[in-house]
Amino acid sequence: MGNVGAKEVPVLLSPDGRRIDGRKLDELREIRIRAGALHQADGSAFVEWGANKVMAAVYGPREVHPRHLQQNDKAVIQCRYNMAAFSVDERKRPGLDRRSQEISKVIAEAFESVVFAEEYPRTSIDIYIEVLQANAGTRCAGLVAASVALADAGIPMVDLLPAVAVGKIGGAIALDLKKEEDNFGEADLPMALVPQSGRLVLLQMEGHMTEAELAESLDLGVKGCRDIYEKMKQALRERYALRPSDRGAA
Ligand code: UDP
C-alpha cells in the first residue's frame, strides 16, 4: 500500500507488469454469458464478468408506455439500468439516481445505432439491466447482457455490441478495469463496438490521458471487444443448439 494524503492507495501495477489480480495489462477478467436465463422475458441473458453479475431482460416490440413517447416511423428503444442496493460493499440507495439515468441513456443510444427500429413503428423495445453484484465495468457488462438478450428476443440488429472499459493504472494502459483499478487508477474509458464496421457507438471517459494513450486505449479496447464478441456469439450458439422443445426448460 502506498500512502497519498490520508487515503490508502493500493499498488495497482507490480514492477513486472502484473495487476492486483495477477492479470497482464491486456488480459480480460473471466467472462461467462448465458443466453435465455429468464422465462418471462422475450429475450434475456445473464453475464458474470469478474465479480460482476448482471441480468438483462428484453420485452417487445410491444405497446409504448408512456404513450407520448410513441414514434410513428420507428420503435422507441427504452433502457433501464438499475444497480441493486446489495450489489456493492456500501449499500447503494435504491432507485434511479443520476448515474443510473446517464447509463440507461447512453446504453439506449448505443442500441439505437444497431437495432432496425424502423421495422417496428409505434412500438417500444424495452431493455432492463439489473446489476446484482458490481465490481466496475457494469455498464459494459450491461451492454453485453442486453445485446445477447436482444438477439435472444429475435430483434433484428446490424450486429451484437461487445463492450469493455480500458483505463490507465500506475501510468500504463490496461484492459478491463476491476474496482480498485477503477477507483484508484488515473483514467477509465468504457466503449462499445460494432464489430462488423469497427464503429464505436459508446465512448466515455473519466480521468486524464494523453492523445497517444487514448489511441493505445482504443486499440486495446477494440481487441478486447472482439474477444468478448466471440463469447457472445458462443452463448447464442449454445442456446440455439438446443432442440426447440428444450428451450422453455433451458
Ligand atoms: N459503485 C458503487 N456504488 C455506486 C456506484 C458505483 O460502489 O453507487 C462501484 C461499482 O462497483 C461500480 C464501480 O463503482 O461497478 C464503477 O462505477 P462507474 O460509475 O465507473 O460505472 P461502471 O464501471 O460500473 O460502468
| Number of domains within the chain | 1
Q: Is position 250 within any domain?
A: no
Q: Is position 197 within any domain?
A: yes
Q: Is position 128 within any domain?
A: yes
pTM: 0.94
Q: Is position 139 within any domain?
A: yes
Q: Is position 14 within any domain?
A: no
Alpha-carbon Rg for the chain, nearest whole angstrom, is 19
Please give the pLDDT value at position 243: 54
Please give the pLDDT value at position 247: 53
* 31 φ, ψ (degrees, to nearest 5): -125, 130
Q: Is position 198 within any domain?
A: yes
Query: Cα–chain-centroid distance for residue 20?
Result: 22
Rounded to whole angstroms, the Cα distance separating 247 from 250 reads 5
Ligand 1: centre distance to CA 225 (Å): 20
- State how beta strands 76-83 and 124-133 pair: parallel
Grid coordinates belonging to 191: 466503449
Please give the pLDDT value at position 1: 46
What is the residue with the minimal CA distance to atom 1 of ligand 1?
Answer: 88
Which atom of ligand 1 sits closest to the CA of residue 99? 19
Please give the pLDDT value at position 214: 98
Q: Which domain holds residue 91?
A: 31-237
Which atom of ligand 1 sits closest to the CA of residue 93? 8
| Residue segments in the chain with a per-residue pLDDT below the cut of 70 | 1-7, 242-250
Which atom of ligand 1 sits closest to the CA of residue 182? 16
Which atom of ligand 1 sits closest to the CA of residue 177? 23
Rounded to whole angstroms, the Cα distance separating 157 from 179 reads 32
What is the residue with the minimal CA distance to atom 15 of ligand 1?
Answer: 136
pLDDT in tens, 121-151: 999 999 999 999 999 999 999 999 999 999 9
Please give the pLDDT value at position 2: 47
Please give the pLDDT value at position 91: 81
Rounded to whole angstroms, the Cα distance separating 244 from 237 reads 13
Reported as half-sphere exposure (CB side, CA atoms, 13 A), residue 131 has a value of 31
Residue type, 43: G
Q: Is position 12 within any domain?
A: no
Mutate to test the pocket of ligand 1, among 90, 182, 204, 206 (most ligand atoms within 8 A of CB): 182
Please give the pLDDT value at position 207: 97
Ligand 1: centre distance to CA 175 (Å): 17
Which residues line ligand 1 at a C-beta cut-off of 6 Å?
88, 92, 99, 134-139, 165, 179, 182, 188, 190
Ligand 1: centre distance to CA 248 (Å): 34
Q: Is position 209 within any domain?
A: yes
pLDDT in tens, 67-92: 999 999 999 999 999 999 999 998 88
What is the residue with the minimal CA distance to atom 11 of ligand 1?
Answer: 135
Domain at 203, CATH number: 3.30.230.70
